[in-house]
């Protein structure tokens, strides 16, 4: 076997560390755990992209509003559309920000708010942008869950004392 052939053989897979696996976050994977693998660059990129998308979306909404003005739809409809987007954006911001710190209850009304959050997408983008300054969005929640799972794993693992079949029977008094 030549040296070239030996260099091309795949390396043996590295066994995973025992214990629970961290849950990946969109755009960050599991780099949030140790802040490695370009974590800071990913956070900066996520903040930049979300702010850029929010600004572009605001301009598109502005053009749509100007189109309504050109169409002469009337002041009531124009004001109603602006108020609708403002309320939807504020609700989307609040719900998105809340989702970074706690998981929604299974019976919650999150499914009913999907349409409202889609209308207020600018609020969700702004929440994502602001959260990227502190951490990866959802990192705190996943870190707490991961640490809880690791503590539970360590507790279960430490209670094992060996082979129960090899123990001596208890003496009767």
- The predicted-structure confidence for 3-57, as pLDDT tens digits, reads as follows 555 555 444 444 456 778 888 888 888 888 888 888 899 999 999 999 999 999 9
| Structure tokens that stand for 122 in this block | 């600018």
Tokens representing residue 74 in the block: 């009337």
Half-sphere exposure of 90 toward its Cβ, with a 13 Å CA cutoff?
5
Q: What token pair was written down for 134?
A: 């502190």
pTM of the complete model: 0.75
């Amino acid at each position: 076997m030549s040296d070239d052939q030996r260099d091309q053989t795949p390396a043996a897979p590295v066994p995973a560390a025992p214990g629970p696996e961290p849950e990946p976050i969109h755009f960050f994977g599991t780099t949030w755990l140790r802040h490695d693998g370009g974590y800071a660059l990913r956070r900066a990129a996520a903040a930049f992209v979300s702010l850029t998308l929010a600004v572009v979306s605001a301009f598109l909404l502005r053009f749509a509003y100007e189109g309504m003005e050109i169409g002469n739809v009337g002041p009531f409809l124009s004001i109603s559309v602006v108020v609708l987007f403002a309320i939807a954006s504020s609700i989307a911001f609040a719900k998105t920000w809340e989702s970074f710190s706690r998981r929604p209850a299974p019976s919650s009304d999150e499914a009913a708010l999907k349409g409202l959050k889609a209308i207020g997408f600018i609020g969700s983008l702004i929440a994502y942008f602001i959260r990227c300054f502190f951490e990866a969005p959802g990192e705190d929640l996943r870190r707490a869950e991961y640490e809880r799972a690791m503590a539970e794993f360590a507790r279960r693992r430490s209670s094992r004392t060996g082979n129960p079949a090899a123990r001596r029977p208890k003496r009767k008094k």
